[in-house]
Amino acid sequence: MNTLGADAIEWLGVHYKTILKTEESGGAISVVDSVCPPNSGPPRHVHHDADETFVMLSGDAVFWLEGQEITRGPGQTAFVPRGKEHTFRIVSDSPSRHLVILTPGGFEGFFAEMAANRFRIPEDMPAITEAASRYRMDFTGPPL
């Protein structure tokens, strides 16, 4: 499933490759290329200081944003304003490749930290929650 190359990182079956680092934009933005397997998705969460945009390249995902669900596929986007509770789940039979754009940047470090420590959900949730708080994110509920 890793179509992102040797420098991609993996956490819980999802592959991530940062294609625009925060420092390359003066802090304004970061862009992460991501490949998620079918039926995957994070627990509900809130980014307190960053807007998040998903640009779908392949596969389909259901996005949950404060009780509302929308489905997005290739060529479509989903926008999550900062401070809004959200999650998503890949609903296609094939992996989903999408760009995750965070403004301002900085959150890509969370993915790197999770991959480096090989944290598991739910077993390592205390450590994951502690790391998330340093990236101004709180977990608020279960995945879809």
Domain boundaries along the sequence of the chain: 9-139
Distance linking the first and last C-alpha atoms of the chain: 22
CA distances from 118 to 10, 28, 34, 56, 79 (A): 9, 28, 17, 26, 28
Which pTM does this prediction carry? 0.94
Mean pLDDT throughout 87-109? 97
For domain 9-139, the question of CATH label 1.10.3370.10 is answered with: no
* pLDDT, tens digit (0-9, with 9 covering 90-100), for 23-44: 999 999 999 999 999 999 999 9
pLDDT of residue 2: 67
pLDDT of residue 74: 98
Q: What percent of the chain has pLDDT over 90?
A: 92
* pLDDT, tens digit (0-9, with 9 covering 90-100), for 39-83: 999 999 999 999 999 999 999 999 999 999 999 999 999 999 999
Give the H/E segment covering residue 9: strand 9-11
| Of residues 67 and 3, more confidently modeled | 67
pLDDT of residue 48: 98
Tally: H helices and E strands in the chain:
2, 11
Sorted by sequence, the CB contacts under 8 Å of residue 34 that are 6+ apart come out as: 14, 15, 16, 17, 97, 98, 99, 100
Question: Quick check: helix, strand or coil at residue 74?
Answer: coil
- Judged against a pLDDT cut of 60, whether residue 1 lies above it is answered with no
